[in-house]
Amino acid sequence: MQSTPRRGRPPSADPSKIARVALRLFERNGFDAVTMHEVADAAKVSVRTLFRLFPTKSDLVWEGLKEIRVVVASRVAEVRGSGLSLRAAVLALAEPFLKPMEDPAVARLARRRLRVIADAPALLGHETLREIEADVASLFGPSSAPPALVARAVVGVAFAALFWWAEQESAVTPLDALDAALRGVAGEPERRGDS
């Protein structure tokens, strides 16, 4: 008996696998040189499916960023008014995302993504990153600097620390790199036994 070909929507595509295929293409050819059609072909999905899962090419690099934003917004609500120092507040916001990068497999993927982002700085203009910055800005009250400026500076320090970490092949964790960067920017000495 001959089976009839299935009609309708194809089996669901795995967004994580598609994002990893795209990442390989971006690493090999550069982010700007790769088209969505090339990603769809390499991932063996239709262009329509690709755009349904990833409305923009930058979304392929930032897979999971919307979920991160939800967690950041929740953490901001917990941290606001807690009396934590700027450094402690930033570390509290970043820990849920940076702690998992201590796993070697997660670290390898994160380093690859960060290297692509470092090579294509326009990726730092992603809309969801701006929303995260706005969430972070809500932590800061009136001061000598506008809250949005302080938030952008904090996010800039965080990415600088992560880009540095991505270049290293050392035992320094992403959270340690961020902590060191924040201490360095604030002019705080590293205290022995302090983490």
Mean residue pLDDT of the chain comes to 88
pTM, rounded to two decimals = 0.84
Structural domains in the chain, sorted by start: 15-60 (1.10.10.60), 64-186 (1.10.357)
Please write the tens of the pLDDT for every residue from 175-189. 999 999 999 988 877
pLDDT tens digits for range 19-76: 999 999 999 999 999 999 999 999 999 999 999 999 999 999 998 888 999 999 999 9
Q: Is 3 exposed, middle or buried (0-12, 13-18, 19+ CB in 10 A)?
A: exposed
- pLDDT classification of 190: cutoffs 50, 70, 90: low
Q: What's the pLDDT at 167?
A: 94
Q: Say if residue 134's pLDDT is above 60.
A: yes
Please name the residue that has the structure tokens 């499916």.
Answer: 49
* pLDDT score for 8: 47
Any idea of the CA torsion for 51, 53, 59, 64, to the nearest 10 degrees?
A: 180
What is the torsional sign of CA 77, 98, 19, 6?
A: negative
The single-letter code of the amino acid at 67 is E
Cβ contact 98:175 at 8 Å: yes
CB 98 within 8 A of CB 178: yes
The token duo for 129 is 């990153």
Q: What is the CA radius of gyration of the chain?
A: 20
CA dist 108 and 36 (Å) reads: 24
Q: Which spans in 30-146 are helix H?
A: 36-43, 47-53, 57-61, 65-79, 86-98, 104-119, 127-137
User: Residue 9 above 90 pLDDT?
Assistant: no
